[in-house]
Structure formats: C-alpha cells, structure tokens
Amino acid sequence: MAIDSSSPDPRDLLPTDRPIQLLDVDGTLTEDPRWPIDLGDDQLVELYRLMVMARQIDAQAITLQRQGQLGVYASLRGQEAAQIGSAFALAPQDWVFPSYREMGVALVRGVDPADLLHVFRGTWLGAHDPAKHRFALITISIATQALHAAGFAMGAKLDGSDACAVAYMGDGATSEGDAHEAFNFASVFDAPCVFFVQNNQYAISVPVTRQTKAPTIAHKAIGYGMPGYRCDGNDVLGTYAVMRKALRHARDGNGPVLVEAVTYRMEAHTTADDPTRYRDDAELERWRARDPLSRFERFLRGRGVVDDDVAQTVDQVAKAEAQSVRAAIYDAPHGDPLELFSYVYAEPTQQLRDQRALLQDELSGQDA
Amino acid sequence: MVAITMAGALNRALHDAMDEDDRVVIFGEDVAELGGVFRVTDKLVERFGTDRCFDTPLAEAGIVGTAIGMAMYGYRPVVEIQFDGFSYPAFEQITSHLAKMPNRSRGTVRLPVVVRIPFGGGIGAVEHHSESPEALYAHTAGLKIVTPSTPSDAYALLRASITSPDPVLFFEPKRRYWAKEDVELPVETEAIGQAVVRRAGTTATLISYGPTVATCLEAAAAAAEEGWDLQVIDVRSLVPLDIDTLVAAVGATGRAIVVHEASVFGGIGAEIAAELLERAFYLLEAPVLRVGGFDIPYPASRLEHYHLPDVDRILDAVERSLAY
C-alpha cells in the first residue's frame, strides 16, 4: 500500500493543554474558529432529541435488567454527549466499530435499540445487519474492534472510497496490545480512521491513572505520528466539532486521528457491578454537576430553540420509544435453537448437519 | 510436465488468484520486496503492485485483525504469519473474531480471509519456528483448517481456500516447501473437506496430513519390503474432516494408525481415533493407534529428530497394530 514516509511535525500532534470545550458547564457557548460547529437550529434540536432518547432507553434497559429481562447491561449514562456528538459528525458512508457501551452511537446510526438489547438479553449473539447501518456488531473483547476499523479504513483507502472508519473504545482499551497495533497500522498506512476514546475514568473499577503514565490518552497519539485531540466529552458541541475536524483530517488522506473525549460513567460498569466499592458519592456529585444533557438543554433554552413545550414533546417521544423498546424485549422468545448450526460456515458441514439432527431429535423428544 | 516445488505451486496459486480477482490482496511480514522468508510470495509485488501485496508492521494480531476489517470492506485478504509459533499473538483475533463473526452476525458478515501459516519442524530452526498448533485452531468452531502435502494439492487447495466464503487457516508444511512434483499447473481446484488415498494397500491404513504424509509413504515403501501393503490416506482438510473416506479406508484394512508431528495428547489423531471408534468399531481388528510428537515443548533443533515421528516409529506402530 502506498504510504507517505515523511514524518509529521511533532508540534502538530500534541493535544491542547486543556480539553476543547465550546459549551461550558453552565451552557454558555464560546465559539472557536479552529473548531467550527456549523449546525442549524433543527440539527441542535435533533442532537437534543437523540440525547434524551439515549437517556430514556438507557434507563429502560437498566429497568429491564432489574426485572430479569436482560442478562446484563452496560449503561452509557453520562456519556450521551460524547457518543451522540461524535456520531453526529459521521458521514453516511462512514463505518462505526463499537464496543459494548455504544447505544447512543447506535441511535444516531439508526440501529434499532431493541436489536442491541437482544444481545444483552441473550436472544442472539448479534441481531442487526452491520452493513445496513454501517455499524458493526458490538465488540466485547476489549480493543479488538480497533483493528477491524484500521483494516476497514485500509480497504477504503485501497478502494479510493471517501469512507472513514471509527473505532469507539474506552480508556482501559488503550492499554491493550490490539489498540497499539491498530494505532500503528492505521498510521503507517495513512488509513482514514478515527479512534474515538471515551475516557469515562474507569475500566470497571480501575481508574485511568492506573492504565497509563501518559500525560493524557490523547498524548499517546504522538507516538504513532498521528494527531491527538482532547475534548470535553460532556460538551456535545465541542465533541461534535472535534470529531468533525478529525474525520476531515482522515478523509482528506492525512491518516488517522486519536480523539480522547473526557467524560464519566455515571452508572456502574454494568448492571453486575457495584461501584460503591471503588468510588465515592462526592466524586459522583462533581460529575453530576457537569451532566451533558442538562448543560445542553440550558444552552438550547437560552438560545430559544427549546422551551417547555419542545422539551415536553421530546421527552414524551423518547418515553414512547423506550416503551416500544421495552415491548420488543419483554418476554421476547429466544432464537430458534436449530439456527445455532446455520451460520457457523456459509454451508453447514456434515458434522454440523449431524449435530443439528441430534438437537432436532432432542427437541422432538421434549415435545412428545 | 515440469518439476515444481510446493513453494512454487503456492506462489503460482497466489498469482493466479490475484490475476482472477482484484479483491485478493496479500500482506504480512516481509511478503513484498523479500517475497516472504520462504519466497512463497516471490515477485507478486512486482506483478501486482504495492496496493495488492504489501509489508505490514511486525504484529500478527494486527495482520489478522486488519484482514478482518478489509474483508468487511469487501476484500479477500490472504495474509501470511511468518512462522507457526507467531500465530499466537493473533490467537484472539483468529478465535474471537475470524472464527466467530460470521456466526455472531447470523450470516450477514462473511470473512473470506486466508491465513497462511508455515508449520511443523524438521528444518533445524530455533525455538517457536517448528510448532504444529493445528489442533488449537481445529478446536475452534468457524474456521476451516487445510493442509496440503504435495505441490499440486498446495495449488489446488490454496485456490479453493481463497475462493472459500469461510475463513481458512492454511497450514503449509515448511519442510516440504522444496519437495518437487512433476505437474502442469494450473490443476483443477479441489473442494475443501475431502481426504484422498495416496497409496492403496490392504495390510493397515496410515492416516496423516501435511509434512508426515511423505513420511508415511516412505514407511509404506519400506514396509513393502517386509511384505506389508500399507494404505496411506492424506486427510488434507482437518476441518471439515472427511470421516466417510477414513471409515471406508479403515473398513478395508481393519487397522488404522494416525500419524502427525503434533503432540498426540488432545491432537487431531485423538479426534480421528475417536471418530473411527464411533463409526467403524466393528470393522476394526485392532485399536486405532497414534504416532506423533511427544507431549513436550518442541525440542532444540539438534534433538528434534528424536521427537518427530519417522519411518521406524510408524512401522513399530504398524507392528503393534498387527499383533492384535
């Protein structure tokens, strides 16, 4: 693959001293010509709608888990701005390679949230068609999807396509060997790839300070010769603007970008986790004050784009959507057990046909 | 008819596959300018350019992981892992994603990736360059595992692997890379999943694959002098396994000895022996025996000939089988 063997100027690769923030915690916007937003009022309301939707469906998913309807669920609460702001910057042809906490990104890409919850319910291992929404299946083994994104981007480059690949990953994922290899491959091959790291401060119980000695995760980028951008991940507009610039950089043939969105996981790692064992209420309170949704709502109300009526309508629509997700999941039947053999290979082998027949016999024995 | 080596046949298969389908791309460590440490990818970069044959950074998980991404884009990557022992850094990408993603996606994602792995010992190499890890991968559902023993099969099976919609681990018996066969390429592509009778015989059946098929044929030649007429079966495809051909063969002789380089414990031989016991119990005159490497880490090169199954160890097993 043709590569640009020149070395970038290191000064162009380092993140800014402070996370890029356009919307402060009070919802006051300070525009920055280096990070243009270029969103109309309709798009601002759409961002808001998606964030409210993500929060409502997320809350519903936790409820469903508590009621025994999901085996486990990984909440995105607190990360709505990071996920929706970044995904909103994607072009339709771009592909997302998510981890398992990306309900917000999925919503932006038009994936049916019930399809994601079917995975947590255990209906199937994967329920949506990745190509339809350009949203790959959720990846549970940490950081492994970053290599798929890098490889996809290498393919896009070879093909002369203007598609970018975006790997969504967490702070802990940057410690994995696959993250290193993905950063390196994407950079060596100038692949149109963005590594979007949501630094939500914890990998289950282990704080980010134990993951790395790097000044920030964004600083890691320089070691791969790619720019590292660092943004306030609780600022939906700042995250959008940074991601927009990162995608343009990649799409223009300049190679990958590492984006670190500084945010916080407000809920437990998953519903199976007990965060009181490793973090205190005071910390939670500090982050609650930086809530991405209320910050954005304050801004929208100040701008006159959202008022009580709009907020109420958005809330009702989101609640209705969450209810329809609930209806799709609640007591949903599991997949057809005979399908277990259908997709292991393009054509089942003789061994699998024999085993399918065996299970079929077992099933008909149960019926008798 | 010209004499062609297995390495040459593999090279020709890659060349012809790339010629036929623009989506076939080759990458790995040292595969471009150098042509691979075994020269299997020799001159492909000259013919097809650096977009379709390129060197990667030195990282096996990276090679397999990016191959998965490229396959998701629509390419048909054929990647090289330089040596068997270096497939382990890619183990997670192979077992958690390459093998599982088509199933996880309920068939909406296909991964037509071929991972070529030179395997086995007998070349006097340093540690980690002589391993036979095929059972590790054969135990993982979703992969096809293919290994040729002759140049013409190397060509035919690699072509079939590249057109396969399923991911294939293609194990190349590195000590047979320079073995020659008089054959006119291209030969017909063979379907994956069919064992073949390499030598007809009536006394007992030797079942093998990859590098030890030739050893079995040598053993059969030596045994002929003793008046034993040994049948030799080349399994060729470990997954899927062609049990029907094995049962038919063993049914004719009543005695089976499975031969491979890998350690016998938990190996392919154990699987074949179990299958034969389940399906051909009343046709057997003797227990199915296994001949393989010992259950030890692969030894230093000057000791490897004590470890590797040879003609004597195979014939000893035949004798034990005949004693029943």
B6/B148 same-domain check: yes
Question: Do B291 and B207 fall into the same domain?
Answer: yes
Nearest to B51 among A158, A345, A349 (CB): A158
Residue B191 lies in a domain: no
Q: Residue B87: inside a domain, yes or no?
A: yes
Best CA proximity match to A147, nearest among A172, A176, A171:
A176
Percent of chain A residues topping a pLDDT of 90: 95
The distance in angstroms from the start CA to the end CA of chain B is: 45
Mean pLDDT of A309-336: 97
Based on the domain organization, do B158 and B25 belong to the same domain?
yes
Asked if B28 reaches chain A (Cβ–Cβ under 8 Å), the answer is no
Residue A151 pLDDT > 80, yes or no? yes
- Is the predicted pLDDT of residue A367 greater than 70, yes or no? no
Bridge partners (DSSP) of residue B144 are: B168
Window B:122-151, CB contacts with A under 8 Å: 141-142, 144
Segments forming the whole domain that contains residue B162: 2-183
Shared-domain flag, residues B209 and B258: yes
Give me the catalytic one of A251, A265, A290, A326. Answer: A265
- Chain A hits for B62, CB-CB cut-off 8 Å, are 147, 150, 178, 181-182, 184-185
Contacts of B295 (CB under 8 A, 6+ apart): B263, B264, B265
Enumerate the residues of chain B whose CB falls inside 8 A of the CB of residue A348.
none
- Is B113 an interface residue toward A (CB < 8 Å)? no
In this structure, the answer to whether residues B113 and B225 fall within a common structural domain is: no
Distance CA(A212)–CA(A189), nearest Å, equals 26
Residue A68, pLDDT > 90, answer yes
Q: What is the CATH number of the domain that holds B86?
A: 3.40.50.970
Residue B126 lies in a domain: yes
pLDDT band at A366 (very low <50, low <70, confident <90, very high): confident
Of B136, B151, B183, the position where a domain reaches its end is B183
Q: Would you say domain A10-335 falls under CATH 3.40.50.970? A: yes
Q: B136 in a domain, yes or no?
A: yes
Closest chain B C-alpha to A175 CA, distance in angstroms: 15
Domain count, chain B: 2
Whether B49 and chain A come into contact, CB under 8 Å, resolves to no
The domain locations on chain A are: 10-335, 337-368
CB A207 within 8 Å of CB A172: no
Contact B66 A351 (CB under 8 A): no
Q: What is the CATH classification number for the domain harbouring B237? A: 3.40.50.920
Do B81 and B175 belong to one domain? yes
Q: What number is the ipTM of this complex?
A: 0.96
A147 contacts B65? CB cut-off 8 A: yes
Q: What is the pLDDT of residues A251-306, one digit of tens each?
A: 999 999 999 999 999 999 999 999 999 999 999 999 999 999 999 999 999 999 99
| B139 has catalytic annotation | no
Alpha-carbon span A39 to A47, nearest angstrom: 10
Nearest to B66 among A150, A177, A342 (CB): A150
Residue B221 sits in the same domain as residue B80? no
Three-class secondary structure assignment of chain A: CCCCCCCCCHHHCCCCCCCECCECCCCCECCCCCCCCCCCHHHHHHHHHHHHHHHHHHHHHHHHHHCCCCCCCCCCCCCHHHHHHHHHCCCCCCEEECCCCCHHHHHHCCCCHHHHHHHHHCCCCCCCCHHHHCECCCCCCCCHHHHHHHHHHHHHHHHCCCCCEEEEEECHHHHCHHHHHHHHHHHHCCCCEEEEEEECCEECCEEHHHCCCCCCCHHHHHHHCCCEEEEECCCHHHHHHHHHHHHHHHHHHHCCEEEEEECCCCCCCCCCCCHHHCCCHHHHHHHHCCCHHHHHHHHHHHHCCCCHHHHHHHHHHHHHHHHHHHHHHCCCCCCCHHHHHCCCCCCCCHHHHHHHHHHHHHHHHHHC
In sequence order, the β-bridge partners of residue B112 are none
Domain edge (last residue) among B183, B207, B240: B183
- Check: CB of residue B315 under 8 Å from CB of residue B283: no
From the candidates A34, A66, A210, A278, which is the catalytic residue?
A278
Residues B142 and B57 in one domain: yes
User: Sheet of B204-208: strands edge to edge?
Assistant: B196-199, B230-234, B204-208, B256-263, B289-293
CA pair distance B259, B262, nearest whole angstrom: 9
Q: Once rounded to an integer, what is the mean pLDDT over residues A174-193?
A: 98
Domain shared by B86 and B120, yes or no: yes
Output the pLDDT for position A8. 84
Alpha helices in B234-300 (DSSP H): 243-253, 268-280
Is B250 domain-assigned?
Answer: yes
CA torsion angle for B233, B234, B236, B239 (degrees, to 10)? Answer: 40
Domain check: are B123 and B247 in the same one? Answer: no
Strand pairing class (B196-199; B230-234): antiparallel
Per-residue pLDDT of chain B (324 residues; tens, 9 = 90+): 789 999 999 999 999 999 999 999 999 999 999 999 999 999 999 999 999 999 999 999 999 999 999 999 999 999 999 999 999 999 999 999 999 999 999 999 999 999 999 999 999 999 999 999 999 999 999 999 999 999 999 999 999 999 999 999 999 999 999 999 999 999 988 789 999 999 999 999 999 999 999 999 999 999 999 899 999 999 999 999 999 999 999 999 999 999 999 999 999 999 999 999 999 999 999 999 999 999 999 999 999 999 999 999 999 999 999 999
Say if residue A5's pLDDT is above 80.
no
> Are A69 and A329 in contact, with CB atoms under 8 Å apart?
yes
pLDDT at A368 over 70: no
CB of A152 less than 8 A from some CB of B: yes
Residues B179 and B202 in one domain: no
Q: Are A14 and A222 in contact (CB under 8 A)?
A: yes
Question: Cβ of A195: how many Cβ atoms within 10 Å?
Answer: 32
Neighbouring residues of B64: CB distance < 8 A, sequence distance ≥ 6 = A147, B79, B81, B90, B93, B94, B98, B113, B115
pLDDT tens, residue by residue, A13-35 = 999 999 999 999 999 999 999 99
User: A131: which chain B residues are within 8 Å (Cβ-Cβ)?
Assistant: 108-109
pLDDT at residue A11 greater than cutoff 90:
no
Asked whether residue B189 is domain-assigned, the answer is no
Q: Does B75 touch chain A (CB under 8 A)?
A: yes
Residues 6+ apart with CB under 8 A from A109: A87, A90, A96, A133, A134, A135
Check A351 against B141: CB less than 8 A apart. Answer: no
B76–chain A nearest CA distance, Å: 10
Cβ neighbours of A344 in B, within 8 Å: 102-103, 141-142
Backbone angles phi and psi of A86, in degrees to 5: -70, -45
Does B9 share its domain with B133? Answer: yes
- The answer to whether position B190 is within a domain reads no
CA-nearest residue to B92 within chain A is A144
